[in-house]
Structures are given as structure tokens and as C-alpha cells.
Amino acid sequence: MEGFAPDTGWGPPMDAVWDVRGTPLEPKRRRRGNGVRQPSRQPSAAPGSAADFDTGGSDWPWSAGDESGGGSGDGLQAAAAAGSSGLLERAANVRNPCSEAMSAQEQLKWDDVRPAMQRSYVQHLPGARQLSDAQLEAQRQLMQDSLAAELPCCNRCDSMSMQPEQPATVLYIGSEVRFMLSVPRYRCCEVECGGAFAPSPFSVRCFPATPKVSWDVTQSSTTQPARWIDERLLRLADSLVFQGGRGVAVYTLARVVHGQHALNGCSDPLGWEHLKRQLGEAIMEYGYLQCALMRLVNLGVQGIPTGPLAACPCCGDSSPLHSLNIDFNFGLCHLARCGSAAVQLPPPNHQLYLRGDMVTKLVQEASSGSAAAAQADADRACSDFDAARVLARTSDKCDVTAVGSSMCRHSIVAHLMDISTGERYIYACVMLYALMVMSCLPVLVVWYDINCKFAGYFWRWAQRYGPLLSVLRALPFGRTQHPVPCFHRYSHSAACQEKNDGLYIAGTGRQYNEPNETFWAYMGQLGITTQYMTHRNRWGRLERGAQLYNDRQADRIVPLLQSMMAKAQRAQVAAAEQQTDVLRQLQEYHGIPPGQAEQLPLERAASIQRHSQPEPRPPPRAEYALLRLQRDELFAGGEPTLDSPDFAAAVAELALFEITRLQASLTRMAQQVQLMEQLMQQLTGRPGEQAKTRRSKQALKQRMQPDLNCLLRWLGGGYAGFHLLPTAVQQRAVAAANADDWTADVICRGVYPWEGDVSAGGAPSPAAATREQLITRLRAHTSELARASEEVCLLEEERKRCLAFLQQQQAAIQAACERTAQRCAALQAAGMAVPECNSFGARQPASHAARQQEQRYSNGLAVLLAERLKKVTVQLAVAREAFSSPHAVVPEACDSDDEDEEYSAM
């Protein structure tokens, strides 16, 4: 830092952050990393200094009575005598000299030049005003010359015989000024034609403010004036709305423009209400125009994908789709008082929204009383948040409560969907139905926040629809996989994470972030204004935002794939190293050879699967003995009494069943405790979720105690039939008498007393983990190694598809450019047949004037195609270089969430 000495170790680190009380805080770090906090760079302080107290920051060599530090000596000594743990935070007069110096320098850096700047501004103000007036007059004159150079052509008969009329006066509206333009008007000379001509506002880079008068100036009058808005102003407004980072209202922009005109002395009449309304309509229509130009199909490009994921270079129309991410955002609602939901005409740029009779029918069928009651068991999930239900809440305030999105793993939006209630399962089902059945795009993996309950609901719901069920049964696993996403998985219970984590589900690959959350961060800024719009305008603005987001993500596909490959390869190497280390520990400390140890994760997975099933019922004789013991009664007649040999045999069978069940239950709960300890290491930097996991761990250990007490009673003997148990079980009675070794803490370490003498093993050394702990780690590392290897293969395939997509797109655009060039040449040659053009707005000319207009249209189309061809050519060259070299550097790095699942040792 300029003006300060380097970090010499006597004070705080130079990257420290200071709070308002002058207390140095730790530098900012990533929330997710290797799970280990770096030690703060604090030197040891001498006894008696302020560093002896827990200040929460760096050590400063201030004595208790040091006045230069700004502190009160008596106050510091009193606080030290009282044993204060926050001395520097509680001392009201203690100041940080480093922070004060930095603040002073920040405030004084402009003081030296401020007087000179003020004098220079006043000195050059007249010349600057003259320069602005000259530029304004030059701009006006240039626009007038462009309008006068337009060749008149009748808008009805395409005749070039036109008679000039009285010019129309049009108000030009720019970002800083507005002025009047004289626009020439012509009338057709042909008899009974009545056609007219006036230059288009696009000839001077303007956009019409109204659809009638401003577009066709021949219809303007003094009562209906025409207004043209500068295209640069609309482009600026469009960028502020969709790329500004904050919600921007069009009315705010109109107020700023109107005020800027007043500051620049513009006196041409323009009411605030007219500007507000017409600028808003122009921005909306300008967005529709840009959306139309973004689609290559509209530019006449043929032979490219046109499905819901056509914008994704890796997915495209490939079948099946590897993974789909689904989520809902309740920040993009719509107020019922701002427009009726009964009339919802689609905007011109509608492409991604799911609407129609089929969607309405599916939602109504699933929301009926009988269908909802049949799925009532799916209403509660294991997660701590109330995310979704079969029948969720409704709202009287909002007619649209949220927007749902489905996205591929490369952050391309496939569909958007408005919902009018809370988050119901049926909405996600409809999104999957739209892709799998309506778009014929099967999905292998579905990432959804509440997949632990949604998976079962979706399978039961799909059985009611034959086409969807046939698609699911044709998948590799016979149905879609439903893992819990990486960002929301910590909101689920540890048992749910162990069962539904993508780490332990084959075929899911790796999830680096949740694309929907990043998408909502981008779209959330629109919710501030869209809630007050009409439904059509809101629909169009959300569509425009999603299409812009897809276009940006498609442009960044090469760095995205490179980043994903680098992370997958790092995870693969780290998992292999950790797996080797765990195998070494199992062989060194527990005598398990690697070949046998590699089977242990499979046995653990089978054990988890068995415990997920309902508990088995005891054998008939054991159940009979349990019933008699619960009633504790003597029965006359032919039934055995409590002390008969038959009853003793039944009790022995019951005891053996209960001992086996309780041991398996305690083993399973101990494994869950070990999993929670592993999760707590991953949650470093997230104290809230770490504390929640710690509480769950303590509650689980408390639930272990009743089962442990019951097991000790059965193993202790003293009941009828104990002598009939196996010898190995009877020998444990002596060990069970020593209850100090049979504790929940010992069992949670993975040391099971019923398998041997705990006291003989002694306390485990810090370097050697227990067998069960090592098995837990080995299962995680083995699963991660398999998942990372699968991800690397998947990315290799996606690289090939990306190159093929870009090559196909390049060839299709080149073909469209050639057809446009041929069309331009045919239009220039008189009498030559003009090839047809499938671009939007193209027409077959019938006269010489129409040929001239169509030639100008084709020239503009050629410019647009050339720009797109240049863009895809550069992207293809970058992709070839990046994918061919393992150490290639791409121009832009890919964004990722804090939950990017960088694999590290546990």
C-alpha cells in the first residue's frame, strides 16, 4: 500500500479488515476449501501487553498507559484486573492508528488538485458550451442530410414516381438532448393509388416511439406528433435493465432523461407523462427486436438444433440429456392488482415459457382432492426447510407467486414456468414431462432441492401416463436418478445425505454448483419491477432476461468445460491419493490387506441399504415370548408357563433376535455419527449449519443410550433361556458387567464392545483411526474416485459434442451467407430471378423499387450473418486450441458458486 511500510510482523497483516470499533478482523476467505483454517499471522507478545487478552485480532505493542494509542491507562488496567476477554473491543477510546492513517489518506488524496480543478472548470466552461452546441448542430445537420438522401418509393405500388409534400416535424429524443427534425414526405403520383412514403426512423439510427404515427410519419399531424428515440438511448436502457446488477425501472430512466434535457436547456415540448409511457413501450419493443435477431433461424440459418436446449453447444438436441436442474424463485412474483391473469397474450419473443392447455390439464389433475389425498405421505421431507408439498399454500395478494426454471448442467435455461401457489411437486413433474414427452428428450439425472421425497412422487405420478412411463423404463437404470444438490444437501438430515448424496449414486457425475441459484441471482433484479407490470410485458421481460443469459452462457462454454475438466481431474487425483492412504492405514493398523479392504465399502453400502428397509419382524416363537413378557401373566391350560422349558426356548430365541437387532442398530447409528463428524469438517466456515449438525449428532448419541441399555440387559443374563444361547453370547455377560467400556462414545468411535475386549485395545493413538472410521473414509474416497473418473469421461464426450456443434453452426451460417450473397447479386442484376430467403421479413420483389428495398434488406442481413460467423469462428478456434492442449489457457474463467465441490481430504 502506497505510503505505508511493508508488513514487518509487529502489527496486523496488511490484508486485515478493521471493524467500526477499530478491531482487526480476519481476512476474507472462501467459505468452502480444504476444511482447515489458516493460522493468523500474529507474533507472540510479551506478558503484560494488550495481546494477553482475547481481543479477537492482531497483537499491538501498546502498554496500558500508552497515550499514543489513544487508550485510557486506568481503564485498561481495570479491565485487565477484571479479567476482561474483549479489552480492545470494550475500550471506548482505543483507536487504530493504521486505520486512521488510511482513512486520512483516502480523504486527502483529492485535496491537492481540487482548487485547480475548480478554476479550470470555470475557465473552460464557455468553450465547452460552444463545443457542445457545435456538436449538437452537426448531429442535427447530419441526420437531416441522411433523411433527404432517402429515395422515395410508394408503400403500396412500389412506384418511384412520388410527389413531395409538406415535411413533417418529428421530435428527436436522445440521452442528453432533444430537438426537432424536418422529415420529408411524399405522395404517390399513380392514379387511384393513394400511397405515400416517408423515411424510416432506422435510417438515422432511431426507434419509433409509437406504432402508428411515429413509424409512419405520413400519418402524423399537429394533434398527433411523431417522436423518434435514439437507438443508443434504448440500448443503454436495455443494458441497465438486464445487466446493471440492480433492478432499474423504466420510469426512473425516463425521469433521468427528462431531467438531463432540462439541464441542457432543451425547450422543445415534451410532457413527462408522454415520455414515460412512450419510452417504456419503445424499450419493450426494442427488446423484442433484439430477441428476434438473436435467433439464427430468424436470420435464415438452416440445419441447426431448434429444441428447448438448442442454445447449449454440449446438450443441443442430443438424447438422452445427462442432467437437469430444477428450482423455483418466489422473488419473481406478480401482484394480482396489477393485471388480470385471465388475459395473457404471448409476447413476440415467447420461447422458453411452459404454457398451454396440456400444462394446465396436468396441474389440475394432480391438484384435485383425490389425487392429492393419495399422495399425502409425500408432504413431509427430511429437510429442515418446508420446500414443497403436494398441496401448497395459495396467495390472495399475488396471482403469480413464483417462477420455476429447468436448466442443463451447463447453465442453459430449458424452460420457465409461472406458478400460482406454493412449491408443489406437480410443477417439477410438468417440467420433466415437457422435456421427456413433448420434446422427446429423456433425462438421466434430476437435481432438485427436495429429491428425497420428490423421487417417489414423480415415479408414482409417471405411472399414470403411458408415454412418460415408457421413456423412464428405457433409461439405463429404469428410471431417473434423483440426488440432492450440493448447495441444499446440508439442509437435509445426515441419513438422507448418506442415501441421496450424488457422491454415492452411480451415473450422476459431479455437480460443481447449482446453476439455478446463479440464474436467480441474475434474474432476481427484475422482480422489483416485473411484479407491477401487465402479464404480457412481464412475460416478455423475463423471456428476454433468460435468452440473454443463455446467450452469455453459450459464449462461455469453452472456459466452462475447461474449468469443469480441471476440477474433475484434481478431484480424481486427490481421491486416488486418499484412497491409497486409507488402504495403507487399514493394512498397517488393522491388518486388513488391500484386496479385502476394497470390499468393505461395498459391504457398508449393502448394510445401509438393508437398514433403509423396514425392520423385520421377530420369529413366531420370539414374538410369542415377547407378548408373554409384555403381559407378564401366567396362563392356565395347555399354554406354557413363564418357567417352562418351552417358554425358556422361546425367550432364548427372542434374546438372540433382540441382541442381533440392537447391535446392528447401534452400529448403524455409530456410522451416522461418523458421517456427521465428516460433515462438520466440510462445514468449516459455515457456523450455523455446523452447529445444527453438532446438535443432530448429540441427539443421535442420546437416542443410542436406550438401545445400549437394552442390549446390556439382554447380554447380562439372569433370565429364563439364557443358558440356551450360543456360548459366544453367554461369554459376553462378563464383559457387559463392565459398563464403563460399553458407552455411546466408545461405540461412536467405531469400537464395538460386543466384538472383543475394549480395554485390551486401549485408547486409539491420534495417528490411527478405528476400523469403522477408516471404512467410512474409504467409502467416500472410493465413490469420489469413481465419480470423478466418470465425470472425466463425460466431459471428454461433451468436448466432442461442443466441437461438432460449433462446426455445424459455422457451416450453417456460411451457407446462409452464401445464399444471401447470391440473393444480393440477383437483386442487382436486372431481369435475374431472385432466390427465395427464409429469413423473417424477407419478401420476393415484384418491381424495380421493391428490388432496391430488398437489396438493402439483404445487405443488412449479410452484415448480421457476418457478425455471427465471425463470433462462432473465433469460438471454434478457441475450442480447438483449448481441447487439443491439456495446458491451454482460455480467455475467460468460469464462474462457480461457493458450493463448487472442490474435493479435499476429510
For 410-512, where are the alpha helices, taking DSSP H only? 425-433, 451-462, 466-473, 494-500
Can you give the pLDDT at residue 549? 95
Angle, helices 535-555 vs 515-523, to 10°: value is 130
Can you give the pLDDT at residue 291? 92
Write down the residue that cell numbers 396436468 correspond to.
362
Can you give the pLDDT at residue 230? 94
Q: How confident is the model at residue 809 (pLDDT cuts 50, 70, 90)?
A: very high
pLDDT, tens digit, 9 for 90 and up, residues 340-363: 766 678 899 899 999 877 888 888
Burial class of residue 865, CB neighbours in 10 A (0-12, 13-18, 19+): buried
Can you give the pLDDT at residue 25? 41
The CA distance from 201 to 210, in Å, is: 11
pLDDT, tens digit, 9 for 90 and up, residues 619-678: 887 887 787 777 665 444 445 555 677 778 888 888 888 888 888 888 888 888 888 888
Q: How confident is the model at residue 205 (pLDDT cuts 50, 70, 90)?
A: very high
The CA distance from 678 to 759, in Å, is: 26
What H or E segment, with its residue span, contains residue 229? strand 226-230
**For range 37-43, the mean pLDDT:** 41
Burial class of residue 863, CB neighbours in 10 A (0-12, 13-18, 19+): exposed
Do you know the residue count of the chain? 906
Evaluate whether 250 touches 283 at the Cβ level (below 8 Å): yes
Can you give the pLDDT at residue 887? 61
The CA distance from 857 to 824, in Å, is: 9
Residue 850 pLDDT > 90, yes or no? no
**For range 221-236, the mean pLDDT:** 90
Tell me whether strands 186-188 and 178-183 are parallel, antiparallel or unpaired. Answer: unpaired
Query: Which amino acid makes up residue 392?
Result: A
Q: Who wins on pLDDT, 251 or 91?
A: 251
Residue 59 pLDDT > 60, yes or no? no
Q: Mark whether 774 and 794 lie in a shared domain.
A: no
Q: How confident is the model at residue 62 (pLDDT cuts 50, 70, 90)?
A: very low
CB-facing half-sphere around the CA of 607: CA atoms within 13 A: 21
Can you give the pLDDT at residue 416? 95
Residue 283 pLDDT > 80, yes or no? yes
Extract the C-alpha cell encoding 538: 412481464
Percent of the chain at pLDDT exceeding 70? 80
Q: Mark whether 433 and 511 lie in a shared domain.
A: yes
CB-facing half-sphere around the CA of 627: CA atoms within 13 A: 11
Which range in 19-23, 389-393, 860-864 is most confidently predicted, on average pLDDT?
Answer: 860-864
Residue 637 domain flag = yes
Query: Which whole-number Å values give the CA distances from 430 to 116, 342, 460, 478, 484, in the listed order?
Result: 67, 21, 14, 20, 19
Evaluate whether 543 touches 352 at the Cβ level (below 8 Å): yes
Q: Mark whether 393 and 475 lie in a shared domain.
A: yes
Query: Which whole-number Å values give the CA distances from 157 to 195, 213, 675, 754, 830, in the listed order?
Result: 7, 21, 80, 100, 19
Q: Mark whether 196 and 277 lie in a shared domain.
A: yes
Can you give the pLDDT at residue 16? 38
Extract the C-alpha cell encoding 388: 414443497
Q: How many domains does the chain have?
A: 5
| DSSP assignment letter at 902 | -
The CA distance from 785 to 886, in Å, is: 20
Can you give the pLDDT at residue 871? 95
Residue 307 domain flag = no
Q: Who wins on pLDDT, 634 or 150?
A: 150
Residue 859 pLDDT > 60, yes or no? yes
Q: Mark whether 739 and 754 lie in a shared domain.
A: yes
Residue 71 pLDDT > 80, yes or no? no
Can you give the pLDDT at residue 45? 39
Residue 520 domain flag = yes
Query: Which whole-number Å values give the CA distances from 795 to 562, 679, 788, in the listed order?
Result: 9, 28, 10
Can you give the pLDDT at residue 389? 57
**For range 277-283, the mean pLDDT:** 90
Q: Mark whether 85 and 183 lie in a shared domain.
A: no
Q: How confident is the model at residue 369 (pLDDT cuts 50, 70, 90)?
A: low
Residue 98 pLDDT > 90, yes or no? no
Can you give the pLDDT at residue 131? 92
pLDDT, tens digit, 9 for 90 and up, residues 439-488: 999 999 999 988 888 998 999 999 999 999 999 999 988 899 999 998 88
66-80, 523-537, 614-628: the lowest-pLDDT one: 66-80
What residues pair up with 207 in beta bridges, in sequence order? 229
Percent of the chain at pLDDT exceeding 90? 34
* 284 closest CA partner among 216, 237, 343, 331: 237
The b-or-e profile of 699-710 (16+ CB within 10 A means b, else e) is ebbeebeebbee
Average pLDDT value over all residues in the chain: 80
Can you give the pLDDT at residue 37? 40
Cis amide bond preceding 320, omega within 30: yes
Residue 5 domain flag = no
Extract the C-alpha cell encoding 58: 492482531
Residue 883: other Cβ atoms inside 10 A = 19
* 49 closest CA partner among 88, 7, 4, 6: 88
| Percentages of the chain per state (helix, strand, coil), in multiples of 5 | 55, 10, 40
Residue 1 domain flag = no
DSSP assignment of 176-211 equals S-EEEEEE--EEE-STTT--EE---GGGGTEEESST
Which range in 6-15, 661-670, 682-691, 764-773 is most confidently predicted, on average pLDDT?
Answer: 661-670
Can you give the pLDDT at residue 251? 84
Q: How confident is the model at residue 228 (pLDDT cuts 50, 70, 90)?
A: very high
The dihedral sign for the CA sequence 310, 315, 321, 322: negative
Can you give the pLDDT at residue 640? 54
The CA distance from 693 to 699, in Å, is: 10
- In degrees and rounded to multiples of 5, residue 430 shows phi and psi of -65, -40
Residue 743 pLDDT > 80, yes or no? yes
Choosing from 108, 128, 159, the residue where a domain stops is 108
Can you give the pLDDT at residue 64? 37
Q: Mark whether 365 and 483 lie in a shared domain.
A: yes
Choosing from 555, 582, 606, the residue where a domain stops is 555
- Tell me the pTM: 0.79
Residue 73 domain flag = yes
Q: Mark whether 772 and 789 lie in a shared domain.
A: no
Q: Mark whether 774 and 793 lie in a shared domain.
A: no
* 271 closest CA partner among 216, 209, 215, 218: 209
Q: Mark whether 93 and 158 lie in a shared domain.
A: no
Choosing from 721, 749, 779, the residue where a domain stops is 779
Q: Mark whether 491 and 516 lie in a shared domain.
A: yes
Q: Mark whether 796 and 772 lie in a shared domain.
A: no
Residue 897 domain flag = no
Can you give the pLDDT at residue 51? 35
Residue 338 domain flag = yes
Residue 268: other Cβ atoms inside 10 A = 13
Domain that residue 625 falls in = 574-758+767-779
